[in-house]
A and B are shown apart, each in its own frame.
Chain A
Amino acid sequence: MPKIFVVIAAYNEEHAIGNVVKGLRKAGYHDIVVVDDGSDDRTSEVATDAGAKVVRHVLNRGQGAALQTGMDYALRNGADFIVHFDADGQHRVEDLSAMLAPVLSGAADVTLGSRFIAKGSNVPGMRAFWLRRGALLFRILYGIRLTDSHNGFRVFSRRAAETIRITADRMEHASEIVDQIAKHRLRYREIPVVIRYTEYSKAHSSQGPLPALRIFLRTVAHKLLR
């Protein structure tokens, strides 16, 4: 049986993380690593009670940093495959088997979720606009053709997880991952997934032109200063 680790970066997610972990465990995924990114609330306790292994950042370092910590932990503990999954309940466990299939069969090194291939995600208008512009930017900067950008649902083979190193601590890690997929010529596939937009998830995620511009500027600055 291949060892599949699900890595979840969580910051102040005490209200959602319990159900996310329980949902994954119910579906048969037992190696769940929640990286509590310096939360002020009970995220760590709730995740532990739900059955996850918790790695806790003593200070908030950002989603990119938390995901890399989770990947390091998973690799040290013998992961064959690593999944990135959101903490706020936006991702559906039922999409995970389709995300895993190409990587498990060896047809791809990485799969990336896309909310724009299949219907059902009901993406808010402005968010859809900026996400599509992001995908266009990936095509221009890295030559990678995607329909979605900043979709946190990803699966990596062990080789891909060892190859990719996230150095962008905050939200610009999404661009960095695509950059590294291109640089290391990893085989990738986009898989249709449904993103559930709830009032909770919308309140917890950054939307609109200003956050998008900030991520873009950080992406450029990170690339120049690295």
Chain B
Amino acid sequence: MTPSALQLFATAFALFALSRVFLRLKEHQLMIREAMFWGIIWIGMITIVWVPATANLISLTLGIGTSKPIDTIIYIGMVLLFYLVYRMHAKHEKLQHEFTRLVRLVSIKESERAKRR
């Protein structure tokens, strides 16, 4: 079987993404749990691209139906995207909160220093 351009492109992209995950894990910028999450995503992508029947198996397991494997991929993709948006929003909120704490600390210290002068 000759691989299609899409299969090659998707595989190259997934391998590139996996290498980034590995590098970030090595630099301690990613926790093992997060690295595992992304590892499963990209390895899953490679598996489905090369063995499309895997999507059928997932469809059956999830009870979505067997007619179109692409439907399963889209459903899972949507759930993942919603989850990632939520995670990013939560992280953004946390960063904003920490940012405010920092600005507050600096402003109070500065005003107390000015009072002493």
Contacts and interface: CB of A to CB of B under 8 A. Distances in A.
Nearest to A69: B104
Nearest to B108: A73
Interface on chain B toward A: helix, strand, loop, or mixed SS? helix
B54 interface: no
A35 B96 contact: no
Interface residues of A, number: 22
Contact of A58 (B89, B93, B103): B103
Interface on chain A toward B: helix, strand, loop, or mixed SS? mixed
B108 A57 contact: no
A55 B103 contact: no
Contacts of B106: 58
B47 interface: no
A10 interface: no
A57 B93 contact: no
B4 interface: no
A225 interface: yes
Contact of A225 (B93, B111, B112): B93
A222 interface: yes
Given A56-B110, A221-B89, A225-B89, A72 B96 contact: no
B84 interface: no
A53 B111 CA distance: 8
Interface of B: 89-90, 93, 96-97, 99-100, 103-104, 106-108, 110-112, 115
Interface of A: 35, 53-59, 61-62, 65, 68-69, 72-73, 76, 167, 169, 221-222, 225-226
